[in-house]
């Protein structure tokens, strides 16, 4: 199983101006540095390697599998969609059959977007098809994240405020932060409490 980013988010969860208001800054001297901190803090929480294990602003991912799952004892063959909490659209389910790419009719599967993470299963008594025994023959593409609300990020206020707390802590302490070392960021206790209810716990 693998996961790859197809279309990254196109906007910030927390804008530069909102962050400057939080920091009580009214000059532009540090705008580039503040943007870097916002990016680093967001990356620390968002996406495949993020602390929350969830998509924040809308982004498209593709889950690749070596085969479709077999039905369980109840006859269900669920496929969990990592980061899909919430899910915006289930775009396609494709697989390789005799070296050709096939697309499964959406009427033949069902999305459960209430579970966290979201999941999908084949409908009725029909099992998933048998794919070629090749590398990553099954590909499920979906768009996940919090959709915009009134032109602004739809990410919950608690997550936005947690990002502001993290950025303010980094700004005040002037630690060396780049997108390459975001995993070294320590989340302040107040931010961690705000994030707790949104964190998806993934068990191996």
Could you report the per-residue pLDDT of 10-40, keeping only the tens digit for each?
999 999 999 999 999 999 999 999 999 999 9
Same domain, 76 and 89: yes
Say yes or no: 133 and 188 in one domain. Answer: no
Q: How many domains does the chain have?
A: 2
Query: Nearest CA to 147 among 82, 48, 57, 20?
Result: 57
Q: CA nearest 136: which of 90, 95, 80, 92?
A: 95
Residues of 117-129 as b/e, b for ≥16 C-beta within 10 angstroms?
Answer: bbbbbbeeeeebe
Q: 50 and 88 share a domain? A: no
**In this model, does residue 97 exceed pLDDT 70?**
yes
Q: Is pLDDT larger for residue 180 or for residue 32?
A: 32
Same domain, 77 and 117: yes
Inside any domain, residue 69: yes
Q: Is residue 66 part of a domain?
A: yes
Within a domain: residue 7? Answer: no
Average pLDDT of the chain is 89
pLDDT at 124: 63
* pLDDT for position 99: 86
| Residue 78: inside a domain | yes
Q: How far apart are CA 40 and CA 32, in angstroms?
A: 12
Is 124 part of any domain?
yes
In a domain, 87, yes or no: yes
Are 139 and 69 found together in one domain?
yes
Query: Is it the case that residue 63 has pLDDT exceeding 80?
Result: yes
Q: Is the per-residue pLDDT at 183 higher than 60?
A: no
Distance CA 108, CA 58 (A): 26
C-alpha torsion 149→50→117→120, nearest 10: 90
170 in the same domain as 124: no
As a whole number of angstroms, the distance between CA 146 and CA 140 comes to 20
Q: Given a cut of 50, is residue 54 above it in pLDDT?
A: yes
**Considering the domain boundaries, does residue 8 fall inside one?**
no
- Shared-domain flag, residues 185 and 110: no
* Rounded Cα gap, residues 53 and 40, in angstroms: 16
Are residues 66 and 50 part of one domain?
Answer: no
Whole-number pLDDT of residue 177: 54
Residue 85 has a pLDDT of 84
Inside any domain, residue 150: no
Q: What pLDDT was estimated at residue 73?
A: 76
Which range has the worst mean pLDDT, 93-97, 148-152, 161-165? 148-152
Please check the confidence at residue 142 and state whether its pLDDT lies above 80.
Answer: yes
What is residue 202's three-state secondary structure? coil
pLDDT at residue 86, as a whole number: 92
Q: Are 70 and 118 found together in one domain?
A: yes
Q: How far, CA to CA in Å, does 100 sit from each of 68, 97, 127?
A: 16, 5, 20
Structural domain boundaries enclosing 38:
13-55+156-198
Query: What stretch of H or E contains 160?
Result: helix 157-173
Token reading at 155: 């990410």
């Amino acid at each position: 199983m693998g996961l790859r980013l197809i279309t990254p988010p196109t906007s910030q969860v927390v804008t530069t101006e909102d962050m400057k208001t939080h920091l009580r800054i009214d000059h532009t001297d540090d705008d580039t540095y503040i943007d870097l901190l916002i990016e680093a803090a967001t990356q620390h929480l968002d996406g495949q390697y993020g602390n929350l294990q969830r998509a924040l602003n809308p982004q498209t991912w593709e889950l690749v599998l070596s085969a479709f799952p077999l039905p369980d004892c109840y006859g269900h063959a669920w496929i969990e969609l990592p980061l899909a909490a919430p899910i915006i659209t289930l775009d396609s389910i494709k697989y390789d059959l005799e070296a050709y790419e096939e697309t499964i009719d959406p009427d033949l599967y069902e999305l459960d977007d209430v579970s966290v993470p979201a999941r999908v299963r084949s409908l009725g008594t029909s099992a998933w098809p048998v794919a070629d025994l090749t590398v990553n023959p099954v590909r499920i593409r979906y768009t996940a994240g919090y959709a915009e609300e009134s032109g602004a990020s739809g990410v919950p206020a608690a997550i936005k405020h947690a990002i502001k707390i993290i950025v303010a802590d980094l700004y005040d302490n002037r630690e060396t932060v780049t997108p390459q070392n975001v995993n070294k960021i320590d989340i302040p206790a107040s931010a961690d409490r705000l994030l707790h209810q949104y964190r998806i716990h993934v068990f191996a």
